[in-house]
Structure 1
């Protein structure tokens, strides 16, 4: 019984990992782009981006998942794929959170460093990649680590639209077998995954200390 439950949960955990990894692949670069929009000198663009970020961060992720999954079917009669709808919801949501972390990190860099780069004849792109980026990465590692851990736990919300992630697989044993311990067993998967992420970010922070 234990072996069957473990295999079933591992199958769901694969979906959890896929959702986690794909969210990061798309949300991190999108978050950086959004952060540039929120710092734009073009007022209408800046206002629009800030409004979108405020709306996404101010509403529940579960609500966003439901709207993105059921919205196309109700409006245009198109059924969105469950995993795709969940992924899109996570990407949009976390890109907005990441954008605020990026923005805070970029704006924390003293203006004097930008001016020094300009004096040396560097372009804005060169200043960003050669002077700013490494310092931004170092500053945003702790908050990014927190968001990564939150993302691992938030993947459980995909069960709202019947994406068969690890928590959904654990819950199904209550309905099919009348046992609850597999649901608690799912906590082991989350704890191990988050433990590994904690160790990884701790190691990265130590490595970044060399750049003081």
Structure 2
């Protein structure tokens, strides 16, 4: 049992690296895309709309297959973790774009008018007034996406990446026991719970700061 836990836990390195890379890059990219979708520049708006349509409308697994197995056909070969990271960043930024867009649009128009009266430009208004409020209202859906992400990291097992699910499956095949799957499930539950607690703490802090 101890050996199985240790072997499965070795896959946490890949799982957490993929998770953190995706979070680090998809959040700012998603926010940038949201601002682009709200832009008055038609080509930018159309590009972002097309981008979100493609990557929200096709399965993440298909995108992962294309990135890892499809690109080599065109002469581009990526290491498994690199292919997975790019795929996850692109996919999740499309979802985060819609979350941020909805949060920004949910801010009362009076906030913009008040900022204009104070002599603030568009950039100052967004950075000092709109985005802080939008990020606060976006926290609950961001929490859902953060939990979904930790579970979606299991998809990289299909391209031979040794994360916790793949390691569990190897043990099941070797030992003819389903116990490793239960251990793997516990790992995911622990990670999901920790992420949920982090977001609840963030929501409480932001609620206090607004009082």
- The TM-score by the shorter chain falls in which range? over 0.9
Name the CA distance, whole Å, in 2 between partners of 1:174 and 1:197.
Answer: 28
Give 1:45 shift: 2.0
Per the normalisation by structure 1, the TM-score is: 0.96
Cα root mean square deviation, aligned: 1.1
What is the correspondence of 1:6-155 to structure 2 with a 5 Å cutoff? 6-76=5-75, 78-155=76-153
Q: Deviations over 1:91-115 (max 9, x none)?
A: 0000000111110111111111111
Q: Deviations over 1:25-51 (max 9, x none)?
A: 010111111111111212222112101
Q: Deviations over 1:145-175 (max 9, x none)?
A: 0000000000000111111110000000122
Give 1:72 shift: 2.1
Name the CA distance, whole Å, in 1 between partners of 2:8 and 2:181.
Answer: 9
Name the CA distance, whole Å, in 2 between partners of 1:28 and 1:95.
Answer: 6
Name the CA distance, whole Å, in 2 between partners of 1:193 and 1:174.
Answer: 22
Per the normalisation by structure 2, the TM-score is: 0.96
Aligned residue pairs, count: 210
CA contact (8 A) 1:70 1:80 kept: no
Report SS of the residue matched to 1:194.
Answer: helix
Number of the residue aligned with 1:160: 158
Q: Deviations over 1:56-87 (max 9, x none)?
A: 001100000000111221112x3210110011
Q: Which structure 2 residue ranges, 5 or more long, are not aligned?
A: none
Name the CA distance, whole Å, in 1 between partners of 2:72 and 2:50.
Answer: 26
